[in-house]
Structure 1
Amino acid sequence: MSRSTPTHRHAWPPAGLVYGVDPSRFQDSNGDGIGDLPGVTGRLDHIAALGADWLWLLPVYPSLRRDNGYDVDDHEAIDLRFGTPADFTALVDGCHARGIHLMIDLVIHHTSERHRWFQAARRDHRSRLGSYYIWSEEPIEAPGDGPVFPGEEDSVWSYDDEAGAWYHHQFYGFQPDLNVANDDVFEEIVRIAALWLERGVDGFRIDAAIPAVRPKPTAGTGADPADFYERLRRRLSAVREDVVLVAEADVPPPEFAALADHGRVDAVVDFSLNNSIFLALARGEAGPLHTALERLDRSVAASARLNFVRNVDELDLEQLEDDERAEVFAAFGGSPDAFLYGRGLRRGWAPMMGDERRFRMSLSLLFALPGVPLLMYGQELGIGDDLSVEGRDACRPVMQWAAAPGGGFTKASDAPLILPAQRGGPFGFHRVNARAQATDEGSHLTLARRLAKLRGRVDLAARPVRRHELPGSPSVLALSVDGCLTLHNLGSQTAEVFEAYGSKPMLTERWNGHLLGPYGFAWLRRG
């Protein structure tokens, strides 16, 4: 594969946003019912028009996709269903020609059981390749060492008949954990990342960054997070000086601060603020966001925080207290079928909001918060979900491009990834699609594009953001950057904001100069 570079470069943080794409669900280019790399390349103009500086491409590795591609069979290859090495090069070149950087997943926590390393390890678990994984003669019970997916797995240990031993897996049984404390495993990680950098990738989202380095219940399996990621940064920077590392870390700010300190990683995917967003929305009060932002500001610079409202997993509310989580469940659950793993909801962003005004306000809020916004594919349209589909796939619809039989996603008569609800209903592709929204001045897509442009013009990525508590309007989150003031009414009642008198509107909904209507928002120029 050839190496190309963007036509213009800039350091992290980006001025715009990060756009996440599941290649299997974005665009099918060959009519087999599965999205692919040429499909993504063919839709890069849509991503560029949205204001994305980074494209995060979810796993393209060979996989049975039992865990949406994170059950990796080979970290060095491309799944043939997605395309060829030449197709990947075309995607890299297409991104860079538009000034878009490309980020892929670096899955260091585990492999699939089909991976050649594990196949060799099970033949002799005491061999060099055997030491890549975590084995025991008997299952070891340890405090806090439970399955990531409660109810899906009964234990973090599975017995392998060929090895005659038990192997450790925090995720599914088909995803044996790697021992990243092993020097040989670390060198493999560096080698794999260097390979993709040579193929033109600009950065990596490190999946399960904290669980990967936590000690397992056997000796020699833990790595200090600061030391591990400092070593990784140093080694990868030697390959490419401007490589960007983003860590997925569903832990409180003080714990993930060590990753961002000293530039070990450029940013952390911030679940703590995500949890507080939903608590604030459930209460219709800005208080939880003030608390979360204050805690974050003490720990990690805003430029090192990647913010999101919904990803394409369950809405994981693990960082809330039990009573707080119950509040969010009551406000947004809607049905017992929506709950998953005892900690989250498998509903989509737009359906959960229940009110189109609240969805649009929360979209604006994402762009106004200190940090870098992350949008997953289709969220700019307000696509839906389908609780009739098992597990987390309920909130993983395909992209909706047009009011056509396959939603513009595919020409195949049978496309297994299209959710039944996408063929009809209020969020079906006949009602919600990119083609219709692109020319509609009042659409969600138009709003997302305007927000991205406005955010870049205000330069939210590089300037400190101030919080303003409004005692008379507890439902309103007020943030300012130099001469820009943003207001977001999280509640269903009109609020008066005396502090905004005389400000000039740049982008507003349900704002008349001093009153902010239910779920209204305003981007204002002060002075």
Structure 2
Amino acid sequence: MSHVTAQPKGRAWPPAGLVYGVDPSRFQDSDGDGIGDLPGITKRLDHVAALGADWLWLLPIYPSLRRDNGYDVDDHESVDPRFGTLDDFQQLVEGCHERGIRVMLDLVLHHTSERHPWFQAARRDRTSREGAYYIWADEPIDAPGDEPVFPGEESGVWSFDDEAGGWYHHQFYGFQPDLNVANDDVFEEIVRIATLWLERGVDGFRIDAAMPAMRAKPTEGTGADAARFYDRLRGRLTEVRDDVVLVAEADVPPAELAVLADHRRVDAILDFSLNNSLFLALARESAEPLHETLDGLDRTVQASARLNFVRNVDELDLEQLSEDERQEVFRVFAGGRAGFLYGRGLRRGWAPMMGDARRFRMSLSLLFALPGAPLIMYGQELGIGDDLSVEGRDACRPVMQWSAAGGGGFTKAADAPLILPAQRSGPYDFGHVNARSQATDDSSNLVLTRRLAQVRSRLGLATQPMRRHTLPHSPSVIALSAPGLLTLHNLAATPAEVFEAYGAKPLLTERWDGHRLGPFGFAWLRR
């Protein structure tokens, strides 16, 4: 396979429009086996480009049993055969680059699967080079705070391996042994793998569990200094591609993000604190929680280095909120006990969780207005649903809904196991929510998403300084401004007067009459 050399022109980060995330198994099936694949994504790139996407983030494409949606990686160097071949991957990258879209892969450095060649070698000989890649103990070690990431799914963080005759540490599932990133050989493997994909045309990486990977485990020599690790990683990868982009997933408070943001160790942070405070603000119908969190972020991470999202394809993680605050969000958005997961978050989809189509559209608009770059996961531009009848996090992982056809345009297979029952029948099914019908409907969520991306790009918001404004008479309104622009979003189900916006020229508005925002109204105004 020849390597891809042509790259999109212009600034790599921050994106002018948006980042678009795709689960390769759930986007488009091209061969009728009921599983999405890389040729299917290539076939749909015009849709991605029309959204205004500057980046396509591919969730794990690596060989895997997909017990953790692909993050249980069996081999970092190949493509899962169900998704296609390396040639298919090259065609996808070329198709993206031809449209000015850059490609981001997940760099999973926290753990592997137990099927990975490294772990297979390690279990045969714990004293081998690969044996030192993992964290072993002769007996489980109890340490304060050393708990499973998924409470209720795992009883502990140590599992016994018969062949190795010892216990290995796993912060996630038992089939995902933790890597010791403090080990220099592991670091070199990470660099080698990232270099391989950069040479194949990839433009950047989302670093999964960026901070948990650095934390010391209850054995000696396992804690990595985050500043030194990411300095070294940045330096080595920049030698391969001087414009490589690194995005760190970091579920930590704003004050702890500085270590990643300083000295451009990473280009952007996929941050959960703003996401959590957004839901608290929506639950309270008050802008105050957003102002509070943005104050903290402004002191540690500049706006251009933030990647904002409303919902990913995991549970809605509310770890940055207090227990009382979580309960506030639960009361408004859980939709009953079935919506809970791990006792700390929700497994609802974005659109159905909002309960009111107006609130969904307002929150979609707010995502584009917030300081930082917007991340949209596949199908969120349509307002796709969820299905609480299925187990775990798969409830909020529908397949993409392209048309009203039997398989939703996702597949021609008669039996497609990834299609959720609610996608065939219900208010968010293929017939009610699909890209084909929304593309020609000026009032649709898809058209709104395109317009928001166009306005954001045309006004150059990616590189403009943003200011926040407190409106004493309208506490439910979050007001943000850039040179020549004012955006207003009403988080409440009641109208709000905004005296400060008199005379502004409307660019894109819903439920705005020139001085008052209706319930869940929003306005993009030229000043």
TM-score by length of 2: 0.99
Per-residue deviation, 1:11: 3.0
Structure 1 counterpart of 2:519, one-letter code: P
Q: Distance in 2 between matches of 1:84 and 1:279?
A: 44
Q: Secondary structure at the match of 2:114?
A: coil
Structure 2 counterpart of 1:242, one-letter code: D
Per-residue deviation, 1:171: 0.3
In the other structure, the counterpart of 1:388 is 389
Alignment of 1:395-414 (within 5 A): 395-414=396-415
The sequence identity of aligned pairs, in percent, is 78
Per-residue deviation, 1:25: 0.1
Per-residue deviation, 1:459: 1.3
Alignment of 1:213-292 (within 5 A): 213-292=214-293
Alignment of 1:79-158 (within 5 A): 79-158=80-159
In the other structure, the counterpart of 2:63 is 62
1:359-395 superposed Cα distances (whole Å, 9 cap, x missing partner): 0000000000000000000000000000001000000
Structure 1 counterpart of 2:474, one-letter code: S
In the other structure, the counterpart of 1:331 is 332
1:176-231 superposed Cα distances (whole Å, 9 cap, x missing partner): 00000000000000000000000000000000000111101000001111110000
Q: Distance in 2 between matches of 1:343 and 1:165?
A: 32
1:19-52 superposed Cα distances (whole Å, 9 cap, x missing partner): 0000000000000000000000000000000000
In the other structure, the counterpart of 2:313 is 312
Q: Are 1:492 and 2:493 matched, yes or no?
A: yes
Q: Distance in 1 between matches of 2:427 and 2:90?
A: 38
Q: Distance in 1 between matches of 2:5 and 2:445?
A: 34
Structure 2 counterpart of 1:230, one-letter code: D
Q: Secondary structure at the match of 1:403?
A: coil
Task: Indicate conservation of the 8 Å contact 1:123/1:162, yes or no.
Answer: yes
> Which runs of 5 or more structure 1 residues have no equivalent in the other structure?
none
In the other structure, the counterpart of 2:196 is 195
Alignment of 1:355-374 (within 5 A): 355-374=356-375
Task: Indicate conservation of the 8 Å contact 1:4/1:96, yes or no.
Answer: no
Q: Secondary structure at the match of 2:25?
A: helix
Structure 2 counterpart of 1:524, one-letter code: L
Structure 1 counterpart of 2:15, one-letter code: P
Two-structure CA RMSD over aligned residues (Å): 0.6
Q: Distance in 2 between matches of 1:149 and 1:489?
A: 35
Moved beyond 2 Å, runs of 4+: 4-7
Structure 1 counterpart of 2:138, one-letter code: E
Q: Are 1:470 and 2:444 matched, yes or no?
A: no
1:158-177 superposed Cα distances (whole Å, 9 cap, x missing partner): 00011110000000000000
Task: Indicate conservation of the 8 Å contact 2:39/2:92, yes or no.
Answer: yes
Q: Secondary structure at the match of 1:26?
A: coil
Q: Secondary structure at the match of 1:426?
A: coil
Task: Indicate conservation of the 8 Å contact 2:261/2:300, yes or no.
Answer: no
Per-residue deviation, 1:4: 2.9
> Which runs of 5 or more structure 2 residues have no equivalent in the other structure?
none
Per-residue deviation, 1:5: 2.4
Structure 2 counterpart of 1:13, one-letter code: P
Tell me the number of residue pairs that the alignment of Structure 1 and Structure 2 aligns: 526
Per-residue deviation, 1:9: 2.8
Structure 1 counterpart of 2:436, one-letter code: R
Per-residue deviation, 1:114: 0.3
In the other structure, the counterpart of 1:322 is 323
1:503-523 superposed Cα distances (whole Å, 9 cap, x missing partner): 000000000000100000000
Structure 2 counterpart of 1:137, one-letter code: D
Task: Indicate conservation of the 8 Å contact 1:50/1:452, yes or no.
Answer: yes
Q: Distance in 1 between matches of 2:62 and 2:422?
A: 28
Task: Indicate conservation of the 8 Å contact 2:502/2:515, yes or no.
Answer: yes
In the other structure, the counterpart of 1:433 is 434
Q: Distance in 2 between matches of 1:70 and 1:220?
A: 25
Q: Distance in 1 between matches of 2:466 and 2:8?
A: 30
Q: Secondary structure at the match of 2:462?
A: coil
Q: Are 1:354 and 2:362 matched, yes or no?
A: no
Per-residue deviation, 1:425: 0.6
Q: Distance in 1 between matches of 2:22 and 2:485?
A: 31
Structure 1 counterpart of 2:76, one-letter code: H
Structure 2 counterpart of 1:412, one-letter code: A
